[in-house]
Structure 1
Amino acid sequence: MKSIALVLLIASAYAGAAIPNVAVESAQGQLGPSKFQLHLESSVAEYEGLAGQLFDVENKASNRILEDLIINILEVFRDIVINGNDYIPPLDPLEIEHIGPFQFSVTGLRVTANIRDLRSEGLRWYVIDTVSFNPIRLTVGVHVTLPWFSVACRYDVETRILLVRHRAAGNFRLFIHRIEVGVDLRMGTNLVGGYLTLRELEIKIDVHDTLVHIDGMTGSKLINRFISNLVQSISQDIVQKHIDSLGDFLSVVLFDVINDILQDYTINDILP
């Protein structure tokens, strides 16, 4: 940094050489050695400050290039969510005709269930809140908010308790208000070739509110409403209890995926 300031100072000295000798001589009586040293130090400090500002601007510009690249990747993913590609079907809306059968059994109890005509919506509306990059620590932070998300389907269930059978079929709907996803990752470089590798990955998910509606469990509307209200009352607690586990699961699953992507890039590729 001082070398840059010195170059600028020398350039200004050459510019000052064009001042007539008369002006220089008239100033000699007013500018002694101590004052000249003070003037020189203040000039160096001034040019160092200017060079530092230029360096900060260039550094911020480089960071912004990578941050814009991440934002562009997320926007490309939005197009995949809507239209799909050769490997991923459209995800919003996502429609699946049949899932199942699911079976659950304990002593004296056996349950078989099927999900039909499942439809989920809302994934395309995610908002990219913040994207940050620290070139010194090689960390990237991304925060995304999904304003709403809904899942609706039909179901049929057959329950057998000892010799008693019960069959039920109806509709199920889950509406989630505001899902926030935070992703923090730290990269490093390997010793061979300086290629990037993922050191840490942490995904945090927060669900603000849920609304559950279910019908058809019994032939009584009153009992159905009671069951639906009961499921609604415990849904938020269940979600909050298991949402951290979902974030940890995604962190483990995506760790190797991101590492496979990074292995073809060096630090020079992300520091323009």
Structure 2
Amino acid sequence: MKSLSLVAIILALAGSQAAKLVEPPSDIPSPLNAIDNIIVDVLESCKLRMVEGWPQYGIPPLAPFEIQHKNFNFGTGELHATGALDSLVVQGLNEFEIRTMSVNLILSRIKFELHFASLNLTTQYEADVEAGYHMARGGGAFLALEDLNMSGQIKYSTGVVGSNNNLRIKGIELNIVAGNVVSNIENLSKYRILNRKLNEIVAEFISLTINENTDFVADWVDSTVTPICNDLIGDRSLKDILDLIGGGSE
């Protein structure tokens, strides 16, 4: 998810800058509508590029997004779990619908709303769990976020076109709402009925974490993703960022 956010944010900003260089046709009633459409076109192109990624910028393929091995260490309250995920595959990162895309050049702000029918992952896991007792578990796992909606706004600052000044993100406001969560994790219990009940608990926990902690998620994204985006932009010029969109093409 974080990789998708980084790419979408940077491309949206680049699209808004590119739009300033475009003379809208006379039959378009509003230049701002033309700018919004350019950003939408940029993100639609991004969907196609996500299959290959941007290896020249260190961004791997995102559709699907794959991680061969990832250790984890999770703790909340009396629950603590450590372990590893292997052959993790995330599907659906490029299958989003752009419901809203609106740029305000005066306020340097982009409002957006993206909808994902389903974001899902499959993986093999091994876990050691401490919850007043110890247990070791492992097997296959499937998790899905269905009817997922991401909306908010990006505030940015820009340099003068033709100078060495760079794009900079000033703040990100992001709201995430999941309509449904599916959990199918093997071997949480050796009893099938209990395993199904535990998966229901996992699904409810994920749903509550996303939908009832919107302020926490928004603060985390702003404080964590904003500096990462600016580091990713670095000292690249506007042309460098536009080349990123086209994979180096003119």
Q: Classify the secondary structure of the residue corresponding to 2:87.
A: strand
Q: Contact 2:80/2:130 (CA < 8 Å) preserved in 1?
A: yes
Of 84, 94, 112, the match for 1:124: 94
Residue 28 of structure 2 contacts residue 34 of structure 2 at CA under 8 Å; is this kept in 1?
no
Q: What is the rounded CA distance, in whole Å, between the counterparts of 1:253 and 1:216 in structure 2?
A: 34
Percent identity between matched residues is 17
- How many positions carry a matched residue from both structures? 206
SS in 2 for 1:96: strand
Q: 1:214 aligns with which of 159, 182, 185?
A: 185
How far the C-alpha of 1:150 sits from its partner, in A, is 0.6
**Structure 2 match to 1:65:** 34
* 1:15 alignment counterpart: none
Q: Which has the larger radius of gyration?
A: 1
CA deviation vs aligned residue, 1:161-208 (integer Å, no higher than 9, x gap): 89x8532212221111122122323456789x9x77655432222222
Structure 1 residue 143: Cα displacement: 1.6
Find the aligned partners of 2:51 and 2:223 in 1 and give their Cα distance. Answer: 26
Give the match for residue 121 of structure 2.
151
Query: Looking at both structures, which has the greater relative contact order when contacts are Cα pairs under 8 Å and sequence separation is at least 6?
Result: 2
For 1:169 and 1:132, the matched residues in 2 are separated by: 46
Are the equivalent residues in 1 in contact too, given 2:147–2:180 (CA < 8 A)?
A: yes
Q: CA deviation at 1:60?
A: 4.9
CA–CA distance in structure 2, aligned partners of residues 127 and 227 of structure 1: 32
TM-score (norm 1): 0.61
Q: Are the equivalent residues in 1 in contact too, given 2:96–2:117 (CA < 8 A)?
A: yes
Aligned-pair distance for 1:248?
Answer: 2.6
Of stretches 218-227 and 180-189 in structure 1, the one that deviates more from structure 2 is 180-189
Q: How does 1:7-18 map to 2 (within 5 A)?
A: none
Q: Structure 1 residue 184 and structure 2 residue 153: aligned?
A: yes
Whether contact under 8 Å (2:146, 2:181) holds in the other structure is yes
Q: After superposition, what is the alpha-carbon deviation per residue over 1:192-232, rounded to whole angstroms, capped at 9, x for unaligned?
A: x9x77655432222222111122212322233223223323
- TM-score after normalising by structure 2: 0.65
- 2:154 is paired with a residue whose SS is strand
Partner of 1:235: 206
- List runs of 5+ in structure 2 lacking aligned partners: 1-25, 239-250
Is the CA contact (8 Å cut-off) linking 2:171 and 2:222 kept in structure 1?
Answer: no
Counterpart in 1 of 2:142? 173
- State the alpha-carbon separation in 1 of the partners of residues 131 and 34 from structure 2: 62
In the alignment, which residue of structure 2 is the partner of 1:112? Answer: 82
Moved more, 240-249 or 149-158: 240-249
Between structures 1 and 2, the one with greater helix share: 1
